């Protein structure tokens, strides 16, 4: 008997030996297909190879592909647990030919594998073909030796495979095994075909066409092969068990669940165990691939799956949250084949625990309400839509959970009533935002939000994805199309572009598709989750409904990531250095720098800044992984996560942790833990380097810090180094001696200035420095000194006049200073014994007049004035003398 892991490797080895490249499973969230909710088949990752858009270095491939069939075109959710073969998560084993072999070889490879390698009994096997596909029927006759009754012709879509509404497709041939009369069911095409007796386990698709639109189907460039074998079904066949849930892998998961619950599965509750085992797999794999529970889109499908499982855990009597405890069992079974499970184990565990803890709070009360509401109902009755909506809205019961809960009693739900109740609530919300006074350009986003739902953000995991344009807004109005040269806002169903929020700027990049290229210069988040890509159509025509590729400017995003993560590290370092009163007051994470405002009412010293920078860089050098978890706000805060004041948080928040604290109370614990929806580096080393470049006060009690990271920080340092070297070379010393050299020069200059002032004074007093009548003369019987001096500051002129007055003992002094720009200042001093005869104020006015100026003022013994024309200095002295002489 072969275990699941063995069957997988036998399959892959067989095709490897037959010239196939073994390719890894692609993620459950398709990167290359915007129309699909989840990867639902092995061919999804090769879609563009089939259509010729993409080429690979091989023409034959084989994979074991993770697949989810819930919430999309292929949806098995409702059946899981109640049939022997339906699963929401399964592994699809497949072999592919891209224009290489076709029908004959595909049938031959399949036949040899199942009969020779797997040893299935030929007489138990039968196949279906599409009713017009005589070619395939002929090969089955030839290769397997089947008679006509073992080749069943089917005319329905069951034998025409399509991935979704569009994409590669073609007729197919399915291989069935008859599991024996003891199981109920009939062959395909018979009225009993839904029974489990005839089990389909391998589908060979002869890919011939591409469905381009609903109406248009074209030939693929080269006929190709896509096959899909359900690994779990094959395991049930090879292990001789009736249901996929009895295979080794599921038995181990169910054992883990029953040992937690304390009782094993019995006839009455086996469905619950099966639901739990299946939903555990889909939940864990979806979380590992970046889906987190939410109220819309993929996140809501995940939430529905998780909550469905949780109700069954409750039914089984689990007293505590159960699902998270089963994660180790799943990792044991599948972690080797899918390492993303082990890598994501912590996130998976916490997400499950959080969801179940929260849901249990309302689950019991919701089930009570449901029991009351259905007490008088019987099989065939219907639960009213109002109650189903209340369960949905107030108790968090997804509609299908309510349906599942009533399934055993054959009670259905009034779906129209449910939709009416939902619509009433929407109308209320609409009235609220319509009346909120937002500008018309803003209300348009609310309208689009309601119509289209929130945009799925893929940008935590990828910078490139495909999407479908769901709306185009031009000049404030929604339009169906826009053309080259126009500036538009584009909404896409899913996007890797980050919409500006939490201080981090929106992404830029390109949106392009058939016949259109839009250069995106900004992305904004509007109306609670609509991502609006703003840009200019650089070529072609953008149309609503067009499939496009979205590519974020990778280098710019890299800088944004580094700056955002650095903000967290600086924040924590500031709290360590300055104290825990430091709280973030706003931030800007731009590509070229980061800005960070904090509450702190003192200047930050140079030493403190250096310490902050050093601590933050210590964590950079650790190069430790940056981890993100989803938590309830309360739990996050209890764990010490920093929440930003004034930010609105949902019930669940992303918590970003980085680094390991080296010092202090938190030593060996995570260094920075913050609630944050931004994008971050994978490991702190990716920041490269943090450099704080400025700190200033911006408002009372708020300081602003600016910093650079990575290359920008390095450039900044380079620039500073260059400047230092230039200064050193100008000073003709080594960079190490610049400081002492500059200090020496400053000191020397001070000394020289002092000496110069002294020398000028001496000159002014002793003659030589000035001109004109230098010597003391006698005018109107009193001693008189008059001088024009240069190089003396106006402020020193008074001191000079004073000194000259002292020297005279009794007399009148006039000093005229000529400044470098040719203007004059004049001081007149009169010794006290003469102020009765001459007023310094009168005399200075005479001088000012002669210098082309006006006025002047002071006291009778000392007065000052100015004039525009120092060349008239001599004339001014003469004028004073004349005035004295009367
Ligand atoms: N695409 C086909 C299927 O999903 C075969 O792989 O069944």
Q: Where are the domains of the chain?
A: 4-246, 252-373, 376-434, 442-552, 568-712, 774-885
Identical fold for domains 4-246 and 442-552, yes or no, is no
Distance between CA atoms of 711 and 690, rounded to whole angstroms?
A: 10
572 Cα: distance to centroid of ligand 1 (angstroms): 51
What is the reported pLDDT for 358?
Answer: 86
Structure tokens, 530: 């609509």
176 Cα: distance to centroid of ligand 1 (angstroms): 14
Instruction: Select 442-552's CATH number: 1.10.10.10, 2.40.30.130, 3.40.50.300, 3.40.30.10.
Output: 2.40.30.130
- Lowest-confidence pick of 29-43, 92-106, 704-718: 29-43
Q: What is the mean pLDDT of the chain?
A: 91
161 Cα: distance to centroid of ligand 1 (angstroms): 7
Question: For residue 724, what are the β-bridge partners?
Answer: none
What is the reported pLDDT for 771?
Answer: 42
Residue 205 Cβ contacting ligand 1 at under 6 Å: yes
Which residue, by CA, sits nearest to atom 3 of ligand 1? 228
Span 427-484, pLDDT tens digits: 887 777 766 665 666 788 888 988 888 899 999 989 999 899 999 999 989 999 999 9
Residue ranges at the known binding site: 564, 568, 676, 680
Say if residue 772's pLDDT is above 50. no
Residue 584 Cβ contacting ligand 1 at under 6 Å: no
pTM for this structure?
Answer: 0.72
554-578 vs 606-622: helix axis angle to the nearest 10?
A: 130
Residue 41 Cβ contacting ligand 1 at under 6 Å: yes
Say if residue 1's pLDDT is above 70. no
User: Distance from first CA to last CA of the chain, Å, rounded?
Assistant: 137
Residue 170 Cβ contacting ligand 1 at under 6 Å: no
Read off the pLDDT of each residue in 797-813 and give the average, rounded to a whole number: 88
Q: Of 613, 584, 616, 581, nearest to 598 (Cα)?
A: 584
Question: Which atom of ligand 1 is least distant from the CA of 163?
Answer: 1
208 Cα: distance to centroid of ligand 1 (angstroms): 14
Say if residue 284's pLDDT is above 50. yes
Read off the pLDDT of each residue in 698-721 and give the average, rounded to a whole number: 93
Residue 695 Cβ contacting ligand 1 at under 6 Å: no
Residue 226 Cβ contacting ligand 1 at under 6 Å: yes
The helix/strand/coil state of 402 is: helix
Residue 173 Cβ contacting ligand 1 at under 6 Å: no
Read off the pLDDT of each residue in 837-865 and give the average, rounded to a whole number: 91
Which residue, by CA, sits nearest to atom 6 of ligand 1? 228
Residue ranges at the known binding site for Zn(2+): 564, 568, 676, 680
* CATH no. of 4-246: 3.30.930.10
Say if residue 791's pLDDT is above 80. no
What is the reported pLDDT for 105?
Answer: 97
Which residue, by CA, sits nearest to atom 4 of ligand 1? 41
* CB-neighbour burial class of residue 723 (10 A; exposed 0-12, middle 13-18, buried 19+): exposed
Contacts within 8 Å (CB) and 24+ apart, 708-711: 708/592, 708/593, 708/594, 709/559, 709/562, 709/563, 709/566, 709/594, 710/559, 710/562, 711/559
Of 42, 98, 174, the one to substitute when testing ligand 1's pocket (max ligand atoms within 8 A of C-beta) is 42
Q: Of 88, 292, 414, 409, nearest to 391 (Cα)?
A: 414
Q: What percent of the chain has pLDDT over 70?
A: 96
Q: What percent of the chain has pLDDT over 90?
A: 67
Task: Decide if 595 contacts 504 (C-beta within 8 A).
Answer: no
Task: Compute CA distances 193 → 148, 188, 196, whole Å.
Answer: 19, 5, 8
Residue 710 Cβ contacting ligand 1 at under 6 Å: no
In the CATH hierarchy, which fold is given to the domain comprising 774-885? Diaminopimelate Epimerase; Chain A, domain 1 (3.10.310)
- Position 662 confidence tier, pLDDT thresholds 50, 70, 90: confident
Which residue, by CA, sits nearest to atom 1 of ligand 1? 41
What is the reported pLDDT for 582?
Answer: 85
**Which residues 6+ apart lie within 8 Å of 567 measured at CB?**
503, 587, 589, 594, 596
Residue 168 Cβ contacting ligand 1 at under 6 Å: no
Of 63, 67, 85, 161, the one to substitute when testing ligand 1's pocket (max ligand atoms within 8 A of C-beta) is 161
Instruction: Select 568-712's CATH number: 3.40.630.40, 3.40.50.2300, 3.30.980.10, 3.40.50.300.
Output: 3.30.980.10
Say if residue 502's pLDDT is above 60. yes
Residue 96 Cβ contacting ligand 1 at under 6 Å: no
Structure tokens, 141: 């006759």
Task: Decide if 26 contacts 65 (C-beta within 8 A).
Answer: yes
Say if residue 729's pLDDT is above 60. yes
What is the reported pLDDT for 770?
Answer: 43
458 Cα: distance to centroid of ligand 1 (angstroms): 26
Which residue, by CA, sits nearest to atom 2 of ligand 1? 228
Say if residue 574's pLDDT is above 60. yes
Of 72, 73, 92, the one to substitute when testing ligand 1's pocket (max ligand atoms within 8 A of C-beta) is 92
């Amino acid at each position: 008997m072969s275990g699941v892991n063995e069957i997988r490797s036998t399959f892959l080895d067989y095709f490897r030996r037959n010239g196939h490249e073994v390719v890894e499973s692609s993620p459950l969230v398709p990167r290359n297909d915007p129309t699909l909710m989840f990867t639902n088949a092995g061919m999804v990752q090769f879609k563009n190879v089939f259509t010729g858009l993409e080429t690979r270095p091989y023409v034959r491939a084989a994979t074991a592909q993770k697949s989810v069939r819930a919430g999309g075109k292929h949806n098995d959710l409702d059946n899981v647990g109640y049939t022997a073969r339906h699963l929401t998560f399964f592994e699809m084993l497949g072999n592919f030919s891209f224009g290489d072999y076709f029908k004959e070889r595909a049938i031959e490879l399949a036949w040899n594998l199942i009969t020779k390698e797997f040893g299935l009994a030929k007489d138990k096997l039968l196949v279906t073909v599409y009713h017009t596909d005589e070619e395939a029927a002929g090969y089955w006759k030839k290769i397997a030796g089947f008679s006509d009754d073992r080749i069943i012709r089917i005319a329905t879509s069951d034998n025409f495979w399509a991935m979704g509404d569009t994409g590669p497709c073609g007729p197919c041939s399915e291989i069935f095994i008859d599991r024996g009369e003891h199981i109920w069911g009939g062959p395909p095409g018979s009225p009993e075909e839904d029974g489990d007796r005839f089990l389909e386990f391998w589908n060979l698709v002869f890919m011939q066409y591409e469905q381009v639109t609903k109406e248009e189907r074209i030939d693929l460039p080269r006929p190709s092969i896509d096959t899909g074998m359900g690994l779990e079904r094959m395991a049930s066949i090879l292990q001789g068990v009736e249901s996929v849930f009895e295979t080794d892998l599921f038995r181990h998961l169910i054992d883990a669940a029953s040992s937690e619950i304390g009782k094993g599965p019995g006839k009455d509750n086996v469905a619950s165990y099966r639901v739990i085992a299946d939903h555990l797999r889909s939940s864990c794999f979806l979380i590992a691939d970046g889906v987190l529970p939410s109220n819309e889109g993929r996140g809501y499908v995940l939430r529905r799956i998780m909550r469905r499982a949780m109700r069954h855990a409750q039914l089984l009597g689990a007293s505590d949250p159960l699902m998270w405890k089963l994660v180790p069992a799943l990792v044991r079974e599948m972690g080797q084949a899918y390492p993303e499970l082990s890598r994501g184990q912590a996130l998976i565990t916490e997400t499950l625990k959080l969801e179940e803890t929260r849901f249990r709070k309302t689950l019991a009360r919701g089930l009570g309400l449901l029991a009351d509401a259905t007490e008088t109902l019987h099989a065939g009755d219907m639960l009213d839509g109002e109650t189903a909506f209340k369960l949905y809205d107030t108790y968090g019961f997804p509609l299908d959970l309510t349906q599942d809960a009533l399934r055993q009693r054959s009670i259905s739900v009034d779906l129209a009533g449910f939709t009416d109740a939902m619509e009433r609530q929407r109308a209320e919300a609409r009235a609220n935002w319509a009346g909120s006074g937002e500008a018309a350009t803003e209300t348009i986003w609310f309208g689009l939000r309601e119509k289209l739902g929130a945009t799925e953000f893929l940008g935590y995991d990828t910078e490139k994805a495909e999407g479908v344009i769901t709306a185009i807004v031009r000049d404030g109005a929604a339009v169906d199309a826009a053309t080259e040269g126009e500036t538009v806002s584009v909404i896409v169903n899913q996007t890797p572009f980050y919409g500006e929020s939490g201080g981090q700027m929106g992404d830029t990049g390109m949106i392009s598709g058939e016949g259109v290229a839009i250069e995106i210069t900004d992305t904004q988040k509007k109306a609670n989750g609509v991502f609006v890509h703003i840009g200019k159509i650089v070529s072609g025509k953008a149309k609503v409904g067009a499939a496009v590729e979205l590519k974020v400017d990778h280098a710019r995003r890299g800088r944004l990531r580094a700056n955002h993560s650095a903000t967290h590290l600086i924040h924590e370092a500031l709290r360590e250095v300055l104290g825990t009163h430091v709280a973030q007051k706003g931030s800007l994470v731009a590509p070229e720098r980061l800005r960070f405002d904090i509450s702190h009412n003192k200047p930050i010293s140079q030493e403190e800044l250096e310490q902050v920078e050093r601590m933050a860089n210590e964590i950079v050098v650790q190069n430790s992984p940056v981890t993100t978890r989803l938590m309830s706000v309360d739990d996050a805060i209890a764990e010490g996560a920093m929440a930003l004041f004034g930010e609105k948080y949902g019930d669940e928040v992303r918590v970003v942790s980085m680094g390991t604290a080296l010092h202090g109370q938190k030593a060996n614990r995570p260094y920075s833990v913050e609630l944050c929806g931004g994008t971050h580096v994978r490991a702190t080393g990716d920041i490269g380097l943090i450099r704080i470049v400025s700190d200033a006060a911006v408002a009372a009690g708020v300081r602003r810090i600016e910093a650079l990271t990575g290359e920008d920080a390095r450039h900044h340092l380079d620039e500073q180094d260059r400047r230092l070297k230039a200064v050193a070379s100008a000073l003709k010393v080594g960079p190490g001696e610049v400081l002492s050299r500059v200090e020496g020069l400053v000191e020397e200059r001070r000394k020289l200035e002092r000496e110069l002032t002294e020398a000028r004074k001496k000159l002014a007093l002793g003659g030589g420095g000035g001109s004109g009548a230098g010597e003391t003369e006698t005018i109107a019987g009193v001693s008189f000194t008059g001088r024009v001096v240069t190089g003396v500051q106006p402020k020193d002129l008074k001191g000079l006049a004073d000194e000259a007055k002292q020297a005279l003992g009794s007399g009148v002094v006039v000093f005229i200073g000529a400044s470098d720009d040719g203007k004059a200042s004049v001081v007149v001093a009169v010794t006290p014994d003469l102020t009765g005869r001459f007023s310094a104020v009168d005399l200075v006015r005479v001088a000012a007049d002669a210098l082309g100026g006006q006025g002047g003022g002071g006291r009778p013994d000392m007065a000052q004035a100015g004039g525009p024309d120092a060349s008239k200095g001599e004339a001014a002295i003469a004028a004073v003398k004349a005035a004295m002489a009367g």
